A and B are shown apart, each in its own frame.
Chain A
Amino acid sequence: MIKIAEENVEKLEKKEYSIYFFVLDTKGNPSSALEYIYKTAMVLHKDGYNVKILHNEKDFVGVGDWLGEEYANLPHANTEKENVEISASDFLVIPEIFANVMMQTKKLPCKRIILVQNAYNLTEFMPVSQNLDNLGITDAIVTTKAQEDKLLDYFPGVRTHIVHPSISPIFHPSDKPQKLVVNIVAKDQTDVNRIVKPFYWKNPIYRFVSFTDLRGLTQEEFARALREGAITIWADDKTPFGYSLLEALKSGGIVLAKVPDEPTEWMKTADGNLNEKILWFEKLEEVSDMIAPAVRTWTRFEIPEDVYEDSKSFDSLYSEDVQKAEIEHAYIKTIVERRLNEFKEVLAELKNKEKEEAAE
C-alpha cells in the first residue's frame, strides 16, 4: 500500500499523471461547449501535462475542420476500441451531459471531476436516483457564477471551481470597410425565417439587404462573417453563456440581441440590469422593425459614435490569458495539489501505522 501511495505521489509531483477529457463528437459541427473543453486541454497540453481526449464514437469526426489541426492533433482515444489505463493519480473530466459515464466510471481509481457548462443538462440527463455525492464526484469545474449557483443549489456538497470561457482573438474588428450584410446567429431555421421574411414583406424598398445565416460555419468563416458584416442579429434563448453574442460584440459591427431566458453575468451591469450597451430586443417579431432603421443609419453614416465606443467595452472580457490562468489555478494549483496532499496524508498515515506496528 505504501508503495502504491508513494508511486502516486511521485507521479503527481513529477507531472507523470494524465488528465482525460471525455467529449461528445459533434460530427464536425462547431460547438462552443466542445471548444471550451479542447481549449482547456490545449492549455494543459502546452503547459507540459499529459492530456488525452476520450470518446466512444465509432465514426469520430473531431474538431479539425472547424477548430483547426492543432486541436485535432491533441492525443485522442476511443474507449470502445482502445484500452485506456487509468490510475489513481490520473484525472477524468466528465461534462455534465455524460451522467452515464459518471455512473460507469464510478469504480475507477482516478479523481473524477464534473465539468458543468449548462447545469440544466443535469436535469435532462442525470437520473433522479443519482447525485454527485453517491457518484463519488466531489469537484466541479463551472464556467460562470450563475452555473455555480445552480449546481450548488442542486448539490450543495460539491466543491466548485470557476474557469470562465475565453473568446478567441480571431474575433476582432475589421481594418477594412464593412459590407452591407446582416448576419443572423440563431439556433434554427424557423427563427431565421421569422426575422428575414417579415423584414422583406414590411420593407420592400430594402430588398437589396442581404442576410447571412451563420449556422454551420467553421470558426474562421464565422469570425470573418462577423467582422465583415455591418449588422449582426443574435437570438439564442437557451444560451448558458452567450459565446457568439460576445464574439459578435468584439467584431465591431452593430449587434441586435434577443434577451435570453437567463442572461449571463457579463450581459448585466453591477446592479443586475441588462447592459444597455447592447441593443436588446425581447421578441423575434420586434427585430424585423429594428433592421430597417439600423441599415438606414449605417448606410447613411448616422450610427452614433458611442455605439461603437460602447461595444469596445467588451474587448477585454474573457481573454485567453485570463482563462489560461484560471485553468492552471483550478486544475493544477487546486485539484491536483489537493489530490497530491491527499496521497501524502494517506502515505503519512500508512507510514505511521507501519511504525506503530513495528514498535509493537
Chain B
Amino acid sequence: MKDLTFIFPLYNLSENGRLNRLNTAIAHITVHSQGNIIFVGKKEDLDLVGDKGKKVVNDTDDLSYPNQVMLALKSVDTKYFSVVEQDDFVCDKWAECVDEYLKNDNDEIFAYLPLTEIVDYGTDETISYANEAFWASSFSEEIGYLDLNAIQDYLNFNTSGGIFKTKEFLSLGGLKTSMKLVFWYEFLMRALYKQKKIFVIPRIGYYHYANVDGSLTEQYANSMSEKEVEWWVELAKKEYYFPQDRNKKYEEE
C-alpha cells in the first residue's frame, strides 16, 4: 500500500494506556503501510512514538482534531490517506482488506469508511456499530453508500480508519478547523453535496473504544451543553454549502 498514508493525531499519549494501544495499532498497520505513517501532535507526544513514522510537530495553540489532521495532510504525498485515532484498535486484517478494495478502486469512489465496531473500553464488549446503517436495505439510495438524504438525521458514523483520496479531500476544502464535534459530519455532507461517492467497507477491522477517560468524545461531552451540540449539528447542515471555513462561533444565549 505505497499509496496510503496513515495519520495519527496524538494527544495526551502518556495517559490511560494510550501509548500501548497506539503501538499495537501501528504494529498491525506497519505490516502493510510500507512506512507511510505520519504522527502529528505536540513535541512531547511525538517523542514517545520513537521512529515509527514521519512526525509533524504541531506548535500552534490549536490542538483540535481537525487542525491536527489538516497540518498532517501538508506532509502527505500519497494518493490516499487514513486517519487513525490513538484510542482505537485496528486488526491485522484491516490493512489487507483495504488493500483489496484499493486494488479494485475505480475513480468513482472518493472515500471508503469502515464498518466500525464500538467496543466498551472497560468491559471490552461490543456495544454497537457505526456506519452500519448504510448496508441496511432502504436506508440509502444505493446499498453500501452514503447519501446526503440518509445522513441528514444520522450521526452514527465513524470516519476514523476511513480511506480518503488526498487531492479530492483537499480540493473540497478539507476539515474546517473552527468546527467542533461536527467537523467530519459537515465535511461528509459537503463531499456528498459535491456528488462524491462514499462507500462503507462491510468488514470489521477497525474498533473504536468508547468510554475512554480523556477521549476526544469525552472532552466534548464534558465541555458542551446539549444545546450547543444541537447548535453545531444544525450549523453543519447549513455550512456544507460553503467550501471555506466561515469561522462560526457558538455563543451562549
A46 within 8 A of B: no
The 8 Å CB contact of A207, one of B100, B136, B144, is: B136
335-358 of chain A: CB within 8 A of chain B: none
A205 within 8 A of B: yes
Given contacts A299-B203, A301-B205, contact A180 B115 (CB under 8 A): yes
CA gap between A177 and B98 in the complex, in Å: 10
Given contacts A179-B202, A300-B204, A301-B97, contact A208 B129 (CB under 8 A): yes
The 8 Å CB contact of B135, one of A180, A205, A298, A301, is: A180
Give the total of B residues in contact with A, Cβ under 8 Å. 24
Q: Is the CB of A208 within 8 A of B136?
A: yes
CA gap between A299 and B207 in the complex, in Å: 12
CB distance from B131 to the nearest CB of A (A): 9
Q: Is the CB of B128 within 8 A of A205?
A: yes
Interfacial chain B residues near A301, Cβ < 8 Å:
91, 93, 97, 203-205
CB distance from B142 to the nearest CB of A (A): 11
B171 within 8 A of A: no
- Find the A residue at minimum CB distance from B203: A299
B132 within 8 A of A: yes
225-248 of chain A: CB within 8 A of chain B: 230
B56 within 8 A of A: no
Q: Is the CB of A180 within 8 A of B137?
A: no
Q: Is the CB of B204 within 8 A of A208?
A: no
Given contacts A207-B136, A210-B135, A301-B97, contact A177 B104 (CB under 8 A): yes
A24 within 8 A of B: no
CA gap between A176 and B91 in the complex, in Å: 21
CA gap between A211 and B101 in the complex, in Å: 23
CB distance from A208 to the nearest CB of B (A): 4
A181 within 8 A of B: yes
CA gap between A298 and B104 in the complex, in Å: 20
Interfacial chain B residues near A210, Cβ < 8 Å:
135-137, 143
Interface string of A242-272 (1 = CB under 8 A from B): 0000000000000000000000000000000
CB distance from B124 to the nearest CB of A (A): 15
A209 within 8 A of B: yes
The 8 Å CB contact of B101, one of A177, A180, A207, A230, is: A177
- Could you give 10 example pairs across A and B, Cβ below 8 Å? A175-B104, A177-B104, A179-B144, A180-B115, A180-B135, A208-B132, A230-B202, A299-B202, A300-B205, A301-B97
- What is A's interface to B at a CB cutoff of 8 Å? 175-177, 179-181, 205, 207-211, 230, 298-301
The 8 closest A-B pairs by CB, nearest first: A180-B202, A208-B132, A301-B93, A210-B137, A208-B136, A299-B204, A180-B135, A208-B135
- Using A181-B135, A205-B126, A208-B136 as known contacts, list a sample of 5 further A-B pairs with CB atoms less than 8 Å apart, ordered by residue number in A: A180-B115, A205-B128, A210-B135, A211-B137, A299-B203
